Structure 1
Amino acid sequence: MVRGPGREFDGVNENYQMSNRMERKRLSLNLVRLILLSLGALALASATDDLENGLTILHSAVAKGAVCLDGSPPGYQFSGGFGSGESSWLVHIEGGGWCHNVTNCLSRSKGRLGSTRDFAPVRFSGILNDHGELNPYFHNWNRVKVGYCDGSSFTGDVDAVDPATNLHYRGARIFNAVMEDLLSKGMRNATNALLSGCSAGGLTSLLHCDRFRALLPNHTRVKCLSDGGYFVNLKDISGDDYIKTYFQSIVETHGSVRNLPQSCTSKMEPNMCFFPQYVAPHVRTPLFILNAAYDSWQIRNVLVPLSSDQEGYWKLCRTDITKCDTNQIEAMQGFRHEFLNNLDGAIASTTNGFFINSCFAHCQTELTATWKFTSSPVLGNSRQWGSGSTTCRISERSTALTLATLRATTISTLSSTTSKERRSRRAIVASLRALQYLLQVYNENAMYTYFLIEGVNK
């Protein structure tokens, strides 16, 4: 069957919502267990007391055509910096999938991922947390969470509006309007600026990284973090180019080509430049990629989209990896190999950093449970976190590598898979204390670090 924009892709967005709910439920359970075991009742109160911030609705953006899918003005949440972080800015882009055709976008426009009409504040946690113990490096920065209401990772720009649907594809204008407002509120004087995002927001931070750098003065230290946003172009289990066709539909629906990095679109088919693997090698601004090699969203939507499993063979495995059989585990192992192979171009940059783990997870910076915890794994020693026969063990493969050594390490990693690793079915979400440190130092000496967390089944 030849796939084009239509109902066959709606499962991606529905499954995104389902998998996100499942992921958050699983993370919540892990958080409770971890707190009870390690921090006690007092830590429970501290870890859940995340900062709730007021909203900024940019009504002035409407005149510029910078509006959400339903025509409502864009918005963001802001918490001012203080102390040593007063002149540093962290701009975090919310995730939430995409919409790829009129039907799908119309449905999306009626909720918070397509409108700000019911925009409500959310608690700042994880990388946005204001608790020094839980977020030591960014808790006192100016922290911004940009609402995601356009469905194109802020790349769309179509002038025409169909009166029958009133859909506005204006994501790129929203990005510009929000940044302009933040600059006017002091970001233009930033000493440090980090553009980050989760999932579709992580893709945004990568696609707009150099554009973000260009907005700020030369003296500002600028970097970008893509969390769970490194979506790879590969065939699904049926051999079809499902994700490729889906991403092309997004680009065509939103008129995104003009806002994709020209450093990529000038070299290949522009629609392909929605994939990070083709953009990252050309990003000039220091970029930090955080991703699970067994990315749970990509396993469910890239490797095994609903349309590729009409017999339901993957039904149980897609929702609970402990129920995967040997063949399914092998298929996921194959995905991991492909994912690492597709990092090669981004690895070639001496200004980029990586934290690639083998946990079954998607987005690891937004929740306190996966950002920093007392019993988190750390690099450089044997600390682990896990229960029963499952752990997520950190192994430091190489630090401050030369390009040649890094390539050799990557090739070795891909070829040294053991039967024990292939049997690994369960991996828990690892907290990332080390990442917070690396974000501060990974580009200090024009060197970079490559780490791999391995899911280990004893």
Structure 2
Amino acid sequence: MSPTAVEAPLLLLFLLAAALLCPLGGARLLVEMTVVRNASSIGAFCLDGSLPAYHLDRGFGAGAGNWLLQFEGGGWCNDVKSCFERANSRRGSTHLMTKWEDFSGILSNNASLNPDFYNWNRVKLRYCDGASFAGDALFDNGTSVLHFKGQKIWESIILDLLPKGLGTARKALLSGCSAGGLATFLHCENFTNYLPRNASVKCLSDAGFFLDLRDIGLNHTMRNFYKDLVALQGMEQNLNKNCTASSYFPELCIFPQYSLKYITTPFFILNSAYDVFQFHHGLVPPSADLHGHWNHCKLNPAECSELQIQVLQGLRISMLSALRLFHEYSSRGGMFINSCFAHCQSESQDTWFAPDSPTIDNKTIAESVGDWYFGRRNVKEIDCAYPCDSSCHNLIP
């Protein structure tokens, strides 16, 4: 609901007060939403039929010709019931989203908080389709409609940004966190096609390297979830075509471990080896722990039993195994695989770049990504196993 004449001044006062507060001493950066008004012309709609949107903070100085795009994360919906629930929330409708977004971490415009990308054009793509910006289908039972149009949403936002300067970008970085990190894998190659041939285009996935692994009950919980997601939202046609053409099960190309080798654009993978989403939903989903034996361990890794720690070390081993070829043979790729119990570390200032940020070999995440993007050094950082890293911020939800 739009603010009334009485509410509007109160809203402005709230935004002003919020802008004056920042946990690290600077002013918070609140960026207003831009709705893609002509998105309907290509059939781009959120789940509920609302128009897609993004937030853009303009670059300046030496960074005015460079662009950083960040996919918003927020899970998925893989059946009609959950997608209707999502359509009636901020995850499926731009009508229900906050109209101002706090840009921090990799999106900050403060050189002391984001030294390499602070003066770039920085964009946050709002997530309202439930399929990592990659679906293309429609559900219509005669009385209710769900728009599975993530691919069109992606295209509509890019087309809106091209004449605003993206089309002449000198440098560009496509990034995203969680479901947005998965979207980076899905759209990296396509993003390159929109930009000038002489542009330096690279991609970064934060907490998006979801594994095709069995849970503690030996079930393929994540595989089955993603197979339903791909089928419901019509994603297969938008998965990496070289991967799907080479696979007996093309829907599995949604998993980065299978599609990564077909991505030719320089790529950086930022992930925890003990990613808490994969720990809680892939390795130990509630369906595999009906009696709650893992509840205390999930809340605090220090309370995990010796056997549970062994299982968690197996999760780390599975991730490093899936990344082995990328680690050994990708000359233009970068990695920062730490041992923190976390999920998404690029958007939060305290984990991106702060005095006590997580480090590997005394390098923060921000420094490592910057070193990789600008070619200052090779970055293939793999942390020692838990609990060795005292710099970790364990972000248990």
Q: TM-score, normalised by structure 1?
A: 0.77
* Secondary structure in structure 1 of the residue aligned to 2:90: coil
Deviation at 1:150, TM superposition (A): 0.3
CA deviation string 1:354-382 (max 9, x = no partner): 1111111111000101110124455555x
Query: Secondary structure, in 3 states, of the residue corresponding to 2:372?
Result: helix
User: Is the CA contact (8 Å cut-off) linking 1:81 and 1:142 kept in structure 2?
Assistant: yes
Question: How much has 1:164 moved relative to structure 2?
Answer: 2.8
Q: 2:266 aligns with which of 286, 291, 297?
A: 286
What per-residue deviation string (whole Å, max 9, x for no partner) do you get for residues 47-105 of structure 1? 5x321011111121023210000010000000000001000000000000100000010
SS at structure 2 position matched to 1:114: coil
Q: Decide which of 111, 117, 128 is 1:132's aligned counterpart.
A: 111
Change (3 A) 1:141 1:296: same
Match of 1:3 in 2: none
The answer to whether the 8 Å contact 2:105/2:113 transfers is yes
**DSSP 3-state at the match of 1:122:** strand
Change (3 A) 1:168 1:317: same
Q: CA deviation at 1:319?
A: 2.1
Please give the secondary structure, in 2, of the residue aligned with 1:167: strand
2:345 to 364, 384, 387: 364
Which residue is equivalent to 2:3?
none
**Contact map agreement 2:268 2:369 (CA 8 A) in 1:** no
2:211 equivalent among 197, 220, 232:
232
For the 8 Å contact 1:106–1:165, the answer to whether it is kept is no
Please state how far the C-alpha of 1:440 moved relative to its aligned partner: 2.5
Aligned partners of 2:24 and 2:373: how far apart in 1? 29
Q: Once superposed, which parts of structure 1, at least 4 consecutive aligned residues long, lie more than 6 Å away?
A: none
Mapped to 1, the partners of 2:389 and 2:305 lie a distance apart of 15
**1:86–1:140 CA contact under 8 A, matched in 2:** yes
Partner of 1:176: 155
- Which residue of 1 is the match for residue 334 of structure 2? 353
Question: What's 1:22 paired with?
Answer: none
Q: Is the counterpart of residue 456 in structure 1 residue 388 in structure 2?
A: yes
Contact 2:339 2:389 in 1 (8 A): no
Q: Does 1:191 align with 2:121?
A: no
In the alignment, is the contact (CA less than 8 A) between 1:377 and 1:433 conserved in 2?
Answer: no
Amino acid at match of 1:361: A
Does the alignment pair 1:328 with 2:311? Answer: no
Deviation at 1:161, TM superposition (A): 3.2
Change (3 A) 1:375 1:306: closer
Q: Which residue of 2 aligns with 1:344?
A: 324
Q: Within 5 Å, which residues of 2 pair with 1:29-40?
A: none
> 2-side partners of 1:149 and 1:345: how far apart?
34
Q: Which residue of 1 aligns with 2:31?
A: 53
Distance in 1 separating the partners of 2:115 and 2:202: 18
CA distance in 2, matches of 1:260, 1:246: 16
Query: Could you tell me how far 1:456 is from its partner in structure 2?
Result: 1.2
2: distance between equivalents of 1:146 and 1:225?
A: 15
Aligned-residue Cα RMSD (Å) equals: 1.8
CA distance in 2, matches of 1:376, 1:237: 32
Rounded to whole Å, the distance in 1 between the matches of 2:103 and 2:22 is: 17
CA distance in 2, matches of 1:435, 1:104: 38
Alignment of 1:263 onto 2:207? no
Q: How far 1:449 moved relative to its partner?
A: 2.9
Q: What is the correspondence of 1:158-173 to structure 2 with a 5 Å cutoff?
A: 158-159=137-138, 161-173=140-152
The answer on whether the counterparts of 2:189 and 2:263 sit within 8 Å (CA) in structure 1 is yes
One-letter code aligned to 1:309: D
Q: 5+ unaligned residues in a row in structure 1: which ranges?
A: 1-41, 382-393, 395-430
Query: In the alignment, which residue of structure 2 is the partner of 1:297?
Result: 277
Counterparts of 1:373 and 1:111, CA distance in 2: 33
Amino acid at match of 1:109: A
Contact 1:378 1:434 in 2 (8 A): no
What residue in structure 2 maps to residue 148 of structure 1? 127
Partners of 2:172 and 2:202 within 8 A in 1: yes
Counterparts of 1:169 and 1:153, CA distance in 2: 11
Q: Confirm whether residue 435 of structure 1 aligns to residue 365 of structure 2.
A: no
1:438 partner letter: D
Write the distance in 2 (CA, Å) between the matches of 1:205 and 1:374: 28
Work out whether 1:70 is the aligned partner of 2:3.
Answer: no
- Counterpart of 2:223 in structure 1: which amino acid? K
Q: CA deviation at 1:296?
A: 0.9
- Cα 1:43/1:93, change in 2 over 3 Å: closer
Aligned length: 365
The separation in 1 between residues aligned to 2:143 and 2:353, in whole angstroms, is 48
SS in 1 for 2:147: coil
